[in-house]
Homo-oligomer: A and B are copies of this chain.
Amino acid sequence: MTVALGLDPGTRHFGWGVVERRGTRLVHVAHGVVDTDEDAPIAVRLVTIERELVEVVRAHAPEVASVEAIFFAKDPQAAVKLGHARGVALLVCARAGLDVAEYPPARVKRTLAGSGRADKSQVAQMIRVVLGLAAVPPSDAADALAVAVTHLQHAAITAGMKGNPRR
User: Which residues on A are within 8 Å of B, measured CB to CB?
Assistant: 41-44, 46-47, 50, 70, 72-88, 90-91, 93-95, 99-100
What is the copy number of this chain in the assembly? Answer: 2
10 A-B contacts, Cβ less than 8 Å apart? A50-B95, A76-B78, A79-B83, A80-B80, A81-B83, A83-B84, A87-B88, A88-B88, A88-B91, A91-B91
Question: What residues of B have a CB within 8 angstroms of the CB of A47 in the complex?
Answer: 91, 94-95
Rounded to whole Å, the gap between the CB of A96 and the closest CB of chain B is 10
Q: Is the CB of B75 within 8 A of A43?
A: no
Question: What residues of B have a CB within 8 angstroms of the CB of A88 in the complex?
Answer: 87-88, 91
Question: Once the chains are docked, how many angstroms separate the CA of A73 from the CA of B42?
Answer: 21
Rounded to whole Å, the gap between the CB of A151 and the closest CB of chain B is 15
Question: What residues of B have a CB within 8 angstroms of the CB of A100 in the complex?
Answer: 41, 43
Question: What residues of B have a CB within 8 angstroms of the CB of A44 in the complex?
Answer: 94
Question: What residues of B have a CB within 8 angstroms of the CB of A86 in the complex?
Answer: 80, 83-84, 87
